[in-house]
Each structure stands twice: as C-alpha cells, then as structure tokens.
Amino acid sequence: MTQYSIQNTKDSKLKTEEMVLNMGPQHPSTHGVLRLELVLDGEIIKDVIPHIGYLHRCFEKHCEAMTYPQVIPYTDRMDYLASMYNEFGYAVAMERLLKIEVPERVDYIRVIMGELQRIASHLVAIGTYGADIGAFTPFLFCFRDRERILHLFEITCGARLLYNYIWIGGLSHDLHPDFIRLTKEFIKDFRPNVKELNELLSYNRIFIERTANVGVLPLETAINYGVSGPNLRGSGMKWDLRKDDPYSIYHKFDYDIPVGKGEKGKVGDCWDRYYVRVLEMEESLKIIEQAIEQIPEGDVTSAIPKRIKPPEGQIYTRVENPRGELGYFIISDGSLNPARVKVRAPSFVTMQVFGELCKGWMVADVVAILGSVDIVLGEIDR
Amino acid sequence: MMYDWLYNLTGSEILAMFIVSLLPLFVFILPFALAAVLAERKVSAHMQDRLGPMRTGYHGILQTIADIIKLLQKEDLVPHATDKALFNFAPLLVFMGSYAAFAAIPFSGFFIGSKIDLGIIFIVGVTGLVVAGILMAGWASNNKYSLLGAMRAAAQIISYEIPTLLIILTVIMLTGTLSLYDLSEMQTAYFWNWLILGGPAVGLQKILLIPLMILGFLIIYTSTLAEVNRTPFDIPEAESELVSGYHTEYSGMKFAMFFLAEYANMFAVSAIVSVIFFGGYQSPFGYLGNTLGWTWLVPIEQFFWFTAKGLFGVFVQMWLRWTLPRFRVDQLMAFCWKYLIPFSFVILLLVGLITLM
C-alpha cells in the first residue's frame, strides 16, 4: 500500500540498529538458490544485495569444448522452465549463421512447442507467485495444467524437462500421432481453467491488496536497465520480439501483445506484471490453435546438416523467451567448436533492477516483488 | 457434574480433580489433533485436485500416527546459541495456554472441566499465555526469522484480542453472565434461541438484534482466525517470508507441541464462538433423549452437537486457509484497527441501546 520513506534515525534518542537478514539460498520463496542480503530497519528494507552464482555451471566456457549440436542439451539447462525456447533460440541463431532454410513443418512445430512452453513457464510463474503471496491452491491448479503440457512434450520427445528436441536445421522427432488431438483437448480444457484462476487469485481482494501499487517499475527505469519480456510489458510498453524483430514464422499468426494498464494500481506494479502473464497465456493459445489448423506435411529431419562447420563469422540472434529477450551471440572460427557462445539471459538483466524495486518496502513485499519479476536462477548463473 | 460424579465414584478429591483435568486431553484434544491434521491434509488435497496421503492405511488414515512416531524418534535438537531454558520452556507454555482453555469449555451439560463463573474471561486470559510462549520461542531461538515471526505474532494476537473482547462484552451485556455454562443453558430448546438469532430476547428487540449479532459473529470469527494464526492472518509463520516464523528452530517433539497447540487452539476458538453465538452444546431442535425419556442420552447428544459445531468451525478455518492468500503485516494491523475495532464499538453501543428498550 504505502512505500515507506527510509527515515534517518540518528536524531532520535533511542538507539536503533539495522538488522541484516540473510534470505536464501535455502529459502522457500527465493525461487531456487538466490541469496539476498536484506538490510532492514524493523521490517522495512533499506537495501538489498543479491548474491548469485550458486548454480553456476560454466555454460559459456563449456560450449567452447563442444561441437555445435552438442551445445543444445546445455541450453536446456539454462532456463529449465523454458527449455524448448532456449533450444529454439539457439537453433534460429545457428541456422542464420549457417544460412539454412528449414522446412515449413519444422517451423510450425517449433512455434507450437515454443508457445506450449511459454504457457507451461507462465503457469509456474503464476502458481509460485500465488504460493509466495500465501495462496497455495492456485499453485497446484497451475501444476495440474502444466502437467498436461509436459505430457505432450513427453509423447513427442520422451523428456519432460530437458528435451534436446529442436535441432539445428530440424527436429529430433516428428509429432506423435496423438499430439494434435491431445493439444486440441488441452486448449479446450485450459480456457475455463484460466477463468477459474482469475476468480480464485487475480481478482481476489487480498491478492490485489498485496500486489497492486507494490514494487512499481517505471517504464523509464525498465528501459534503462534493459528489462524485457513480461516485466517490460507490465510497465506498459508494447515490445515483443515475436512482432518487433520477427523470427521463424510468427508473422503468419494473428495475436495481441498484452501490456500492463494499471487496472488495479499504478502501471508497472506487481499485479500488472502478473496479469500480463495471464493474458499472454491466452494469446499463446490463439497462436497454437492457428498453427495446428495450418500445419503442413513434411519431413522434419531433411534439412539437418550431417556435419556442422560454419564459416568464420559471428551472429547475434534474439528471441522472445517466456522471460524476455533471450540473445545468443555466437562466434565461429571455422572449426567444429564454437569459439564463443555468449547468452544474454533475460532473468540476469531483470535481477539488476530488483534492488531498485525493493527499497522502502517490507520483507513480505520482497517476496511479492521477487515472484512478480519471475527469475530462473539456472539462467542467471548459467 | 463430572467432578461430583467422579468424587462420588472414587471417594478422593485429588483423584477426581486429576481425572477431570486429564480427561479433555485424552478424550478430546489428542484424538482431535490426530484427526484434524489428517483432515487438514485431506481437505486441502480435495480442494486442490489431489488425493492427499493414500499409502499409510486405508486412504492414509494412519498418516498422522506415522508422523507422530517420526517426530518422537527425532533427535531433540537444541541449537548452540539459544537461551536453553527459555527455548525448552516455550513450547510447554504455548501448549499449556491452549490446553488450559479446555478446562472451562462446556462439552456438554455434564462433561465440563470446571464450571467457573468467569469462564469467558478465564479462557481469554489463559490463552494470553500463548503470546508469552511465542515471544519466548522467538527470542530464545536466536534466529532473525523467529524473532520477526514472534514480533508479528505478539502484535497480531494482542491487537485482535480487542475486537474479540468487545464482542464478548456485547454478549455479556445482553445476557448478564460470564459463565460459558450459563450462556449455553440460556440458549436451550430451539435454534431461534441462539444468540446469533437474538437469543432469549423477544419481539422488536429480537429483530433489531439479529443483524447486529450476525455482524458481531463475523467480527469475532475473523479475529479468532487471527488469534490462532490461520490464513489469511498466518503472517507469524508465513512460510514464503519467514520460513516458519517463531518455530523455525524447533524440531521433534517440541515442534509437535507447537503443532498440537495450534490445532487445540483452532478447536478452542471455534468452540467459544459456538458457545457464544450458536448455543454451545444445545441441540438446534430438542433432544431425542428427552422425547424417549432416556435422560442418560441427553449429555451424549449434547457432546455430539458441541463437537459438530466446533468441528464445522474448524472446517471453515481450513477452507479459508486453502482459498485465500495472506495479508501483509501492516495491512493486517490496519484491518484490525480501522475496521474491526470501530465496528465492534458500534455494535457494543447499539446493543446497549437496544437492551435499554
């Protein structure tokens, strides 16, 4: 409700002390292994110092020792809630470097998978956000629906979390014969569930009290820090790489880019960021519906090169990951291994602005703000 | 009464007192806690599209017993930097506070630990021990999360006692008694004699009282939710912020004490609410025992009605817990001081005016 101004207690006769509270890495709501050092005045935050790196796996250095296709399983492990999209981004980058045209069916399947992944990822974001605020039931409702998406992935490529499905120039398998039918059923069942979720959580009075007007991220700050994805759109900017820097076949579909409107509070508050994700799931459903209708026949493995040895050069490609702008900067020295793979991870960039957002709020709000920016530590630490 | 009966039976004052004081624990609190923990799991599971525990026994009915065995087997861990004496004493104090409340709760016309005249005040006073215990636990743990949790709990419980007491005061003003037994006896016969429907008042007075009483009931139920730290007021043990608040450092049987006290408290407060507004152990429509002429059946029926009302209150607490998110600490305080307390004052005033009529 109210953001507290940080008062100077020096003039007061009472001796007060700041308390440093260590939050994480083993805290139930730091979404993984983030460690926050909170400097508190009572329950009010004076400063936040995030400590990252508990999940560092040397992804970028590791890539230099791998051949190009061998990098794909490692991209899976960055943002483990959106593995499909990490592969998607890497495949698009490599195809641009190699100048490969992929068959149309491959593109359609990639878009379907990518959007299903976006829904699955947003479901985790929304569900865990509810749990952070104290509503545990929506969390399990979200996981129930996510389970069906994971099942769709499982029948397609055999894995539920780390897929290694989207390859450079194609896909590892074609769709399962049941896939289209099950996806249609999922869409049909999922729409009412979103409504139920809205009634249970989004428009709940207590939930609004906790999130509206809290942790406001002004558009200017967001742009200055390079925040992207739903967090930027929550601050009111219509910026989505699927429309603004098109890749794959996103230009063929009809869908909207939802933005935060400050319906319950100020534009760019926690509620806006949260609600943008809810609306995005609906838009993803639209894309999937259209893609399923239009999907052509074809061979998904025909364009996969036998031996990947790109010419000397470099490429930067960015895609709209569920968490924002996922960029791959790949330098090739003409050998079988990449000379450098640098990843611009959206969560890492969002983490920078987190300290700004928290100052002057209470301990309980740190949890609310952290949940609303939806970070994945696997991607921050890489 | 039970004490007299036991005194006649055993012939010893001390023995009778001993049995009377232990009876609620073994007959009621322990079985209730076992059942309530399981019920909480099953209720939450079915609300969330899950099954809950299914492996231990038929549909998991042995789950809590397995949990208790696990907790008993655990090492009794006392962290190095704690204040040992306070740390060990705190769970006992919390449990004592919630257990002592059962002494004055009338389970039926016959099964009542102590028929003291100051019943309500005794319960409110003795549950105040819980606050002391919680503060002790939070301070002695030497853990910042515990301290924050304890601080919140103390502030919250003390604040929410005010609207609770104001509503109780209203009822006292209306009925002229502080004894829970007398209060229950006053609401006898049929459900329109319950205080939520104006109690024994008649005519215009009764009609005017009904809306005030319903509002009063809502206020007292909300405040008691806060007093037992249940969602949406469970901020002292807000899992997502404070790990588990004041009992973060506790394990094994000491943790189980807190747990048991929480469930005992849940029942105690819904029992008090049911005594004040829903006739306590009185049946809503006469007794089968009286109709048939079997007087021994009446106390059993009363016990049934009392537990049924109490358990329904507990069920609603669970229902709310698995539906609502949690307030923030300042919002919680604002809710109490800006809405509940003024409203209770208004009710107090209006009921006072109506009784003058």
Q: Is B10 part of a structural domain of the chain?
A: no
Mapped onto helix, strand or coil, the DSSP state of residue A46 is strand
Cβ distance A141 to B330 less than 8 Å, yes or no, reads: no
- pLDDT reading at B192 higher than 80: no
Q: Residue B27: which residues within 8 A CB-CB, separation 6 or more?
A: none
- pLDDT reading at A9 higher than 80: no
Q: Is B196 part of a structural domain of the chain?
A: yes
Q: Is B38 part of a structural domain of the chain?
A: no
Q: Is B57 part of a structural domain of the chain?
A: no
Is residue A37 within 8 A of residue A22, CB to CB? The reply is: yes
User: Structurally, how many domains does chain B consist of?
Assistant: 1
**Minimal CA separation from A367 to chain B, in Å:** 6
Cβ distance B240 to A21 less than 8 Å, yes or no, reads: no
B314-337 pLDDT, tens digit each: 888 888 888 888 887 778 888 888
Range of the domain at B84: 75-356
Residue length, chain A?
Answer: 382
Cβ distance A134 to B144 less than 8 Å, yes or no, reads: no
Q: How far is CA B225 from the centre of its chain?
A: 9
- pLDDT reading at A6 higher than 70: no
Contact residues, chain A, for B323 at CB < 8 Å: 135, 137, 200
Is residue A301 within 8 A of residue A171, CB to CB? The reply is: yes
Identity of residue B193:
N
Cβ distance B238 to A364 less than 8 Å, yes or no, reads: yes
**Minimal CA separation from B179 to chain A, in Å:** 37
Tell me the CA distances in angstroms from A377 to A52, A130, A131, A374, one per residue in order: 8, 19, 18, 10
A227-259 pLDDT, tens digit each: 888 888 888 888 888 888 888 888 888 888 888
Cβ distance A134 to B238 less than 8 Å, yes or no, reads: yes
Contact residues, chain B, for A206 at CB < 8 Å: 232, 324-327
**Minimal CA separation from B8 to chain A, in Å:** 53
Please give the backbone phi and psi of residue B326, each rounded to the nearest 5 degrees, phi first: -115, 145
* Best mutation target, A363, A366, A367, to test chain B (most B CBs within 10 A): A363
**Minimal CA separation from A352 to chain B, in Å:** 21
Q: Is B63 part of a structural domain of the chain?
A: no
B11-58 pLDDT, tens digit each: 777 777 777 777 766 777 778 888 888 888 888 888 888 888 888 878
A55-86 pLDDT, tens digit each: 888 888 888 888 888 888 888 888 888 888 88
pTM of the model: 0.81
Cβ distance A364 to B234 less than 8 Å, yes or no, reads: no
Which residue does chain A place closest to B230, by CA atoms? Answer: A134
pLDDT of residue A1: 45
Q: Is B328 part of a structural domain of the chain?
A: yes
A88-146 pLDDT, tens digit each: 888 888 888 888 888 888 888 888 988 999 999 999 988 888 888 888 888 888 888 89
Q: B242 is written with which tokens?
A: 């404070």
Q: Between chain A and chain B, how many beta carbons pairs sit less than 8 Å apart?
A: 84
pLDDT of residue B1: 61
Q: Is B18 part of a structural domain of the chain?
A: no
Q: Is B25 part of a structural domain of the chain?
A: no
Interface predicted TM-score (ipTM): 0.73
